[in-house]
Structure 1
Amino acid sequence: MGSKQTINKPQSNRVRLVVASSVMLTFISFWRAAAIVLNDLGSSAFYAGGIAEEAVGKAAPWFILGVMLFSFAVRAVYVESCSMFTRGGVYRIVKEALGGTFAKLSVSALMFDYILTGPISGVSAGQYIVGLANELLRLCAAHHWASRLVMHSSGAARQLPIDGTSAAIAALITTYFWWQNTKGIEESSDKALKVMKITTVMVVILLSWGVFSAIHVGAHLPPWPTPGNLHFSKDALGFLKHTGFMRTLGLFGVLMAFGHSVLAMSGEESLAQVNREIEHPKLKNLKRAAIVIAIYSFIFTGIGTLLAVMLIPDTVRVPVYRDNLIAGMAMFMVGPLAVRIGFRVFVVIVGFLILGGAVNTAIVGSTGVLMRVAEDGVLSDWFRKPQRKYGTSFRIVNLVAGLQMFTIFVTRGNVIMLGEAYAFGVIWSFTFNALAMLVLRWKYKGERGWKVPLNIRIGKTEIPLGLLCVFLVLLTTAIVNLFTKSVATVSGIVFAAAFFVIFSLSERDNKRRHDLTTLQMKEHFQLEHQDNVGREALEIRPGAVVVTMRDSAAPFALKWALTHTNTDDQDLVVLAARMMGAGGPEYVDASEQLFSEHEQMLFTKAVSVAESFGKHISLLVVPAGDIFSALVQTANSLDAAAVVSGLSTKLTAEEQAYHVGQAWEALPEPKRQFTFYVIKPDGESLSFHIGPHAPTIEPHEVQLVHRLWLNIRRAPDMEDLHHSDILTYALTRMATEFARDKQGTLKDLQRCIDESHHRRGLGGARHEELDEAGPGYAIRAPKTAHITDDHEANTVKTK
């Protein structure tokens, strides 16, 4: 199937600029996708139960279980939205169905959700740490192990202020991840999977030991979720505090309790964000991931909360362990005190990993949402301008982190206040998404990969009964929450209204700027939009040189490449990657490709530099989720012989080459080997062979092989021995020893590395100095290299 192409009429004074529509992505299994979502969704298990019980009483676990069951239906809505032609989460779905105004409202509610995810997760992590510290201080005082410095005159242990210390810990976590995201944190599904493996070990121990303890002590189930068993706190009644309406309508009380428990369902938007990276078959694996997430969260959050209420005595559960319920459950298991304390420490460590990760997810997720809004022309280009040193969207990161720090400061570590406000963003973002999907059932008649079940067909009309029911439950809960969560309602409406006004004014100003930028781009560049990028689109020959460029003020990599490339023999392509951020789409329509002033300056500078050398270049823009994957995918699709990149401000040349090599290994076959050049600002160059290649052998190593060949060849029946036979034997023997004794072989190999006083770069290539090559030399390797039996051609410069 041919790719769609939109070409403006060529003019002689314009440079061709090819813009790709398909986003360059790396793909992950559904297990890894589930792990990424559970790192966000699982965090609510550590605080949702305590917040719900504070609001509705001891029957709270049943409502948490009900919310977790209802999350199956909400997740089904997200699966249907991901299976459609529109992708990218709430903002894209709502805009497609309801237009820009509702899209800005929905993203404002979603931002309120994300802004509060970080503080509530960070503060909750602090609560678990402070709770453990205070418990240990009490135990030390009781056994007279504590120093006088931590004791009161009465003999009781000093206690850390819970809320204040928790807020300080949350601020430290937020500051750490703010800095990591400013530098450009490396997101990895491996990290998420490792954290979930550790969490799974904790969950299995927690539930197994918890069930055994509940049976052993004869624990009773919490009271059933009937109106008579609901005991609302004063704050939980919100604006209905001084009315008798709740008491006259029992069902309304149940809806109130459900609304106070809905924050246990947070994190669903992460599924839409990770959808684009799920490997083929995408829809099947998406549904698998959704099922894994649903079952895991139901067991961990739902059953875990139920057991905690059954095991922890009423006298201490809310007053002492409300904000660290899972840790409190560990202390009331059946078993020795030392073992229980040890398991509680394990719970706190796991909780810190999950909750700390949720803080980072909140920054990454909200940054991704705002980046998507900015790319759509709603947010000013000022926010998109990359950080000069690290190349990240630091202004958006600063805005998000600043709002999170402000929230921590205002709430002073009060988990109940944070949880009340958090539920507002959660429920309204779900409601907007469900409404949009309901509208799209009538508005969009095309094929869907999957639909929310329970669809009744009457003639040619299909009634989406299941989707309608989900929407009505969400809308009803959202409306009830408006009356019962006074702090959340006021703060949420103010926040959403402020963001909506900012978006509206910024969009109006941006439209004028983008119209001018688009006009200037069309005047200077011949824009061509391609679904996928290949040599035919750029009209280049095999064996081209791809040069990355991200800073118009420092084009030293491009200058180096132009100096060392004869463009009569070898084409040169300047690549600019447009980072889409978390939750971006898999496909960007040509009408949505808005160029910022930064990108215009980048392309103009590239053309100016090429003209100063008197050489021709091609320009290419690719949307990307990961820069290294975009680099190797582009090089492979263009059949490039070399890739040239400037030295990163945060990675060494070896680390850059390593990441490129890892991305190359992840490519599907067929894939082409190429040479990766890293250029320093002073013009010094380092080269690395990407893919399988003959290693560079030092002269003394060649001499060693030759001496062995001379000595062994004197033995009888060895007259046919070749140098390659010695290497084959050595490698085969090493492989055998490695399989038999891995650790011993690694120690011997490390000793060899240390004794040789050098470490090899990626693929074993030595760093090559190429500064002496003149403009007439091509970077491309020769088409043929004559290799004898005993000699290998490694690096050849050709004219």
Structure 2
Amino acid sequence: MSTDNQSTPPSTRRFSLSSLLIGRPLETRTLAHQVISKKVGLAVFASDAISSTAYATEEILVILALTGSMAYLGLSVPIAIAISILLIIVTISYRQTIYAYPNGGGAYIVARENLGETAALVAGSALLTDYILTVAVSISSGVAQIVSAFPSLADYRVPMAVGIIGLITIVNLRGVKESGSIFAIPTYFFVVIMFMTLAIGFYQWATGTLGVVTGVEFATETAAPLTLFLILRAFSSGSAALTGIEAISNGITAFREPKSRNAATTLIVMSTLLVVLFLSITFIARHIEAIPSHEETIISQIARTIYGDGNILYLMVIAGTALILLMAANTSYADFPRLAALQAADGFLPRQLTYRGGRLVFSWGIMTLALAASLLVIVMRASTTALIPLYAIGVFLSFTLSQSGMVIHAMKIGKLKPGEKIESQESVLEYDKNWRVHMAISAVGAVCTFIVMLIFAVTKFVSGAWFVLVLIPALVFLFSRIHRHYKDVAQALSLENQHYQIHTERVITLLLVDGVHMGTLQMVNFAKSLGNPWKAIHVGVNPERSKITQEKWDKYIGDDNLQIIQSPYRHLLAPIREYVMNLLRENPDAIVHIVLGHLAMDSVMTQALHQNSSLILNLGLTGLERVVVTVVPLQIRHDEEGGDMNVNVLTRDDLRRARHERELNERRNADARRAQKTHKPPPGKKSSGP
């Protein structure tokens, strides 16, 4: 037996739109090579966190501006410092998580291993929600940057956002290595241009040449008093800067070996960049007296004040900011499919999410993320301010569960003896004399993130946080129901403790025919080859067509095995089900084998031109007990592929011959009509006989 080891599968040898957009399929054995370096990993997993610096300061100022006083905007700096301290604590804790759980999974895996199934589902629901919101927020914010530079595009916010989501989706379907390489350029461009801008800004501040914002008015409809509640609202809004910190711990497996060390290094670099950028932007914004505005973002005000309006460097800052915000969505595209695949493998999400596509990425997860984010953008009209209240509560909930799980993890290590090692499902527990230090760090992180989560839930409840607080329990319930379904199915399929015996049962074959053609002949040949009693059924929704079907059956098939079931209300499935159920009642010891014909075209477009009723009938009949459905396809191809090897295939030559015969018959009929018309006798006279 010969083995074909061609590197390119036959289905990819011809041109297709799919191969043009996402590339040719990759072999499974190349999966181990679909890993990324620290430099690319920083672009893939850090773009979300770094991009939050573009709007975190603005979200603080938006809340402080409610006081109606410019003086209170200065509180943005101490609030930013407090947020940065929290960020450092969370970073240290997640660094521990990376080394403890080198297979990734983040909060979901940590919670599952240490806190139980329910906590894991809560963490998973929060993270999946967060990733969807990350795409919506980052894309909407990026579009806002573009609108700041080009106000005439304001009416096209939503179409622009949805279109960009589609573009990023296509790039990610090409694979993690390719998407990472593409998105690395805008990420590093933003970092470089922002550090250069902030350095110039600090120089101007130090030399007293830093200007103030002009052309933006400070206006508020009502002036609220400065209260602790308002400050906490500003703190919770600015905590959006922490979003994306967990991304690297979820995607450790995407890094090259040694995976944990490379991921941990990338996490430290990312957090350092994030803290420096966040504090610097907030500091400069304070000293140029930046004002939150719907017309111009804070980043735009900083760049315009430092470089001047219309300066090429100003446009570069706007372009870099817009790009990093748009690319921030890529972090979710890297993590959402992985997390969804983990939960699907555990039976809490549809199993389709575990399947890798042709480019070795979780294609179903990518498409699910794109669809959910697009719907959210449309509903929220691509408004960052409207989306932010929905955003961070899920992040901090997952932070809290992850850190709490790491506390339990450290306690487990503390119970081991020196040199003792225990392997669990996702990690290796090994005695560490510093386990108390690790536990303390995780405990502090858990307490801090829990407090922030409560602040966010209370201060943003009316603004939209209530929706997330309702959504997460609903998702947990849904995931539990999915899990129970899979367990029930597994139990039903199990052979354990079963006394089922293999035996032969009587089979009655039914052919469902809609007409008489080449496909019908194949079905008849197939039924006869089985050696079982068979009968053909035609549902008469059209009396004239039923008559033609009977005539053609008598002419081409000849067997008196066709039964026409009249359907005066033109139903197709119901009469067939009723007939089959009656047959089952009359033959309680038999299996009914239903044979369906199906025209299989060579493209989606041409397939959509046909009724495809076999798909509906298959779904409607397979639910009946003691019923087996077989589909006999007739492939119709517009090329020569497989034409001489498969008798079920009608190739281009067959179609050409059929077309030629049809045209020839039409010409003959036309000639006959003309001849008859030419020899037609004049009116009132009878033609003479021969």
Q: TM-score range by the shorter chain?
A: 0.5 to 0.7
- Alignment-derived partner of residue 71 in structure 1: 87
Q: CA deviation at 1:221?
A: 12
- Alignment-derived partner of residue 626 in structure 2: none
Would you say the 8 A contact 2:46–2:270 is kept in 1?
yes
Task: Map residues 517-528 of structure 1 onto 2, 5 A cutoff.
Answer: none
Letter in 2 for 1:381: R
CA distance 1:27–1:393, change in 2 (3 Å): closer
**Which of 302, 308, 327 in structure 2 is aligned with 1:357?**
327
- The CA distance in 1 between the partners of 2:435 and 2:359, in whole Å, is 54
CA RMSD between the two structures? 4.0
Would you say the 8 A contact 1:32–1:193 is kept in 2?
yes
**Which of 399, 404, 412 in structure 2 is aligned with 1:443?**
412
**Which of 48, 56, 69 in structure 2 is aligned with 1:40?**
48
CA distance 1:368–1:104, change in 2 (3 Å): same
How many residues are treated as equivalent by the alignment?
451
Q: Is 1:509 equivalent to 2:485 in the alignment?
A: yes
Task: Map residues 142-541 of structure 1 onto 2, 5 A cutoff.
Answer: 159-161=152-154, 164-181=155-172, 187-217=178-208, 247=227, 250=228, 254-311=231-288, 313-314=289-290, 317-320=291-294, 324-333=297-306, 335=307, 337-339=309-311, 342-384=312-354, 393-444=362-413, 445=415, 464-486=439-461, 487-515=463-491
Task: Map residues 526-675 of structure 1 onto 2, 5 A cutoff.
Answer: none
Q: CA deviation at 1:36?
A: 2.7
Q: CA deviation at 1:108?
A: 0.8
Q: CA deviation at 1:199?
A: 2.2
CA distance 1:308–1:410, change in 2 (3 Å): same
- Alignment-derived partner of residue 50 in structure 1: 58
Would you say the 8 A contact 2:143–2:157 is kept in 1?
yes
SS of residue in 1 equivalent to 2:476: helix
- The CA distance in 1 between the partners of 2:196 and 2:111, in whole Å, is 42
- The CA distance in 2 between the partners of 1:189 and 1:397, in whole Å, is 15
Deviations 1:502-534 (A, max 9, x none): 1011000012334566769xxxxxxxxxxxxxx
SS of residue in 2 equivalent to 1:413: coil
Q: CA deviation at 1:286?
A: 3.7
Q: CA deviation at 1:261?
A: 1.4
Letter in 2 for 1:424: I
Would you say the 8 A contact 1:173–1:359 is kept in 2?
no
Q: CA deviation at 1:125?
A: 1.0
CA distance 1:28–1:402, change in 2 (3 Å): closer
Would you say the 8 A contact 2:46–2:331 is kept in 1?
no
SS of residue in 1 equivalent to 2:105: coil
SS of residue in 2 equivalent to 1:267: coil
- The CA distance in 2 between the partners of 1:298 and 1:114, in whole Å, is 22
Deviations 1:660-700 (A, max 9, x none): xxxxxxxxxxxxxxxxxxxx99589xxxxxxxxxxxxxxxx
Letter in 1 for 2:323: L
SS of residue in 1 equivalent to 2:335: helix
Deviations 1:143-170 (A, max 9, x none): xxxxxxxxxxxxxxxx443xx5333321
- The CA distance in 2 between the partners of 1:456 and 1:234, in whole Å, is 54
Would you say the 8 A contact 2:249–2:263 is kept in 1?
no
Q: CA deviation at 1:349?
A: 2.1
Q: CA deviation at 1:295?
A: 1.5
Deviations 1:467-496 (A, max 9, x none): 222211111111121111123321102221
- The CA distance in 1 between the partners of 2:222 and 2:380, in whole Å, is 15
CA distance 1:180–1:289, change in 2 (3 Å): closer
Deviations 1:119-151 (A, max 9, x none): 1111111111111013xxxxxxxxxxxxxxxxx
- The CA distance in 2 between the partners of 1:358 and 1:301, in whole Å, is 16
Would you say the 8 A contact 2:176–2:334 is kept in 1?
no
**Which runs of 5 or more structure 2 residues have no equivalent in the other structure?**
1-27, 66-72, 422-426, 497-603, 605-638, 644-690
Deviations 1:350-409 (A, max 9, x none): 22321222223323422221111111111122555677x888655443432222122112
Letter in 2 for 1:511: K
- The CA distance in 2 between the partners of 1:25 and 1:515, in whole Å, is 38
Letter in 1 for 2:275: F
Q: CA deviation at 1:73?
A: 1.4
TM-score, L = length of structure 2: 0.58
Letter in 1 for 2:133: L
Would you say the 8 A contact 1:104–1:503 is kept in 2?
yes
- The CA distance in 2 between the partners of 1:221 and 1:65, in whole Å, is 23
Q: In percent, how many aligned pairs have the same letter?
A: 21
- Alignment-derived partner of residue 788 in structure 1: none
Would you say the 8 A contact 2:337–2:366 is kept in 1?
yes
CA distance 1:203–1:282, change in 2 (3 Å): same
Letter in 2 for 1:318: P
Would you say the 8 A contact 2:42–2:266 is kept in 1?
yes
- The CA distance in 2 between the partners of 1:285 and 1:177, in whole Å, is 25
TM-score, L = length of structure 1: 0.51
Give the number of the structure whose residues are more often helix, by fraction. Answer: 2
Q: Is 1:118 equivalent to 2:114 in the alignment?
A: no
CA distance 1:214–1:96, change in 2 (3 Å): same
Letter in 2 for 1:506: I
Would you say the 8 A contact 1:366–1:400 is kept in 2?
yes
Deviations 1:596-640 (A, max 9, x none): xxxxxxxxxxxxxxxxxxxxxxxxxxxxxxxxxxxxxxxxxxxxx
CA distance 1:357–1:450, change in 2 (3 Å): farther
Q: CA deviation at 1:206?
A: 1.0
Would you say the 8 A contact 2:53–2:278 is kept in 1?
yes
SS of residue in 1 equivalent to 2:150: helix
CA distance 1:289–1:514, change in 2 (3 Å): same
- The CA distance in 1 between the partners of 2:348 and 2:443, in whole Å, is 30
- The CA distance in 2 between the partners of 1:189 and 1:29, in whole Å, is 10
Deviations 1:740-761 (A, max 9, x none): xxxxxxxxxxxxxxxxxxxxxx
CA distance 1:26–1:172, change in 2 (3 Å): closer
CA distance 1:346–1:494, change in 2 (3 Å): same
Letter in 2 for 1:206: T
Would you say the 8 A contact 2:135–2:332 is kept in 1?
yes
Letter in 2 for 1:309: R
CA distance 1:213–1:450, change in 2 (3 Å): farther
